[in-house]
Amino acid sequence: MAGTASTALIAELDDVIKVGSSSQQTRILRQVTDLFRTAVDRLDEKQTDIFDDVLVRLIERVDVQCLAQLSTILCEIDLAPRETVRQLAFHDDASVATPVLTKSNRLSDEHLLEIANIRGGQHLLAISARKALNEVLTDALIKRGDADVFNALAQNAGARFSETGYAALVGNAERDESLIEGLGLRLDIPAKLLRKVLAMATDAVWARLSTATRPVVPHGTQPATQAVAAPPTDYTQATNDIVALNRTGRLTDSPVNRFAMRGQYTHVIAALSFMTEIKVEDIEPLVRSDRLYGLIVACRAARLDWSTTSTIIRYRPDCPAISQRELEQGREIFDALLLSVAQWTARFGLAKDGSQKVAAAKRG
């Protein structure tokens, strides 16, 4: 019944479209849009096509501001009228195209590719923000994009890149610290290109990488409920044991490796704290982080070798198992990290007051 009433009303409005003034047509567009939003949960694809026919004719007659509002509404609706969305996406004005280009699921990859090949920077930037992009699309965006597009793509966890695409991004990263950082945080970048990225990283970039968390929570997951804070760990005995080892010249890779394999992470943390001169409360979160940069920096600054570092990574308590790809990427990071850079980053980037220390170091 509701569908029949909607059809009759839209047919009546369609007659007005043909002879109405611009202001009347704008008013009609808003009315039809409101009607669609109210009824959309009860519509099927065929009924949506009825709205599509009217909206397509209306969008040719209304101003850009009205179209931008329509785009903002339709981009969130799963069953939005397809042709209307397509025309909004192809619109010359980026304020009209951006909402649907960024969010609408009614655009095919073919449509997005065509837009990427003919429209300007703001359209490309909008496409770059979509939650999923295939390699063909990212290749096209990289080919025609600018620094803003490159950075958006590098920071988009749902974007997938061909090796050619990745190579082009790396080639544009030399004087762009934000792009270096974005590429350095990706888990899917090929190892040989990761080495190039890390070789370009300045001390400040290393410091940011070391304290970074995963940039995006995978789509469809919810953040874990915050647990009740556990009482602080007492590191007194572990610290005393580490000091004793150091006093006798036995604080080397071997005991630290052994502590990790036995799950004695109070001793691992105390050792890293002693060897890097960083407080245990600043080392502790690095061991539990889902990012490896900070822990790798601390291990490198402590002059541990990769064998010990990888053992510390693999045996971390209460952490999900690390994949072979992540471990390989960790090795690339470790090998690319100069000892002096690691020690600078540990001193000025990993501590809680690192930002103040960085500023002081740069002033000095």
Would you say 357 and 348 are in contact if contact means Cβ atoms under 8 Å apart? yes
pLDDT at 355 over 60: no
**DSSP conformation letters of 203-243:** HHHHHHHHH---SSPPTT--PPPPPPPPPPP--HHHHHHHH
Most confident range, picked from 103-107, 197-201, 342-346: 103-107
Q: Which residues contact 171 (CB under 8 A, 6 or more apart)?
A: none
**Coil, helix or strand at residue 175:** coil
- 32-43 pLDDT per residue, tens: 899 899 888 888
DSSP-assigned letters across all residues of 86-101: HHHHH-SSHHHHHHHH
**Where do the domains of the chain lie?**
2-92, 108-200, 236-363
Give the contacts of 54 (CB within 8 A, at least 6 positions apart).
10, 13, 14, 17, 32
12 pLDDT band (50/70/90 cuts)? low
- Spatial separation of the C-alpha atoms in residues 245 and 238, rounded to whole Å: 11
The radius of gyration of the chain from alpha carbons, rounded to an integer in Å, stands at 28
Lowest model confidence (mean pLDDT) among 260-264, 269-273, 310-314, 349-353: 349-353
Structure tokens at 350: 């990993």
Contacts of 342 (CB under 8 A, 6+ apart): 206, 297, 300, 301
Q: Which two tokens stand for residue 226?
A: 């915050």
How many angstroms separate the CA atoms of 307 and 362, rounded? 34
- Span 207-226, mean pLDDT? 52
Distances (CA, A) of 323 to 22, 306, 313, 336, 351: 60, 16, 11, 20, 28
pLDDT in tens, 290-347: 788 999 999 999 999 999 999 999 999 888 888 888 899 899 999 988 898 888 888 7
Q: Is residue 241 a contact partner of residue 269, using CB atoms and an 8 Å limit?
A: no
DSSP characters over 79-146: T--HHHHHHHHH-SSHHHHHHHHHH-TTS-HHHHHHHHHHS-HHHHHHHHTSS-B-HHHHHHHHHH--
Place of tokens 């799963």: 78
CA dihedral 150, 153, 159, 163 (to 10 degrees): 20
Lowest mean pLDDT among 179-183, 200-204, 211-215, 358-362: 358-362
Whether 232 shows a pLDDT value over 50: the answer reads yes
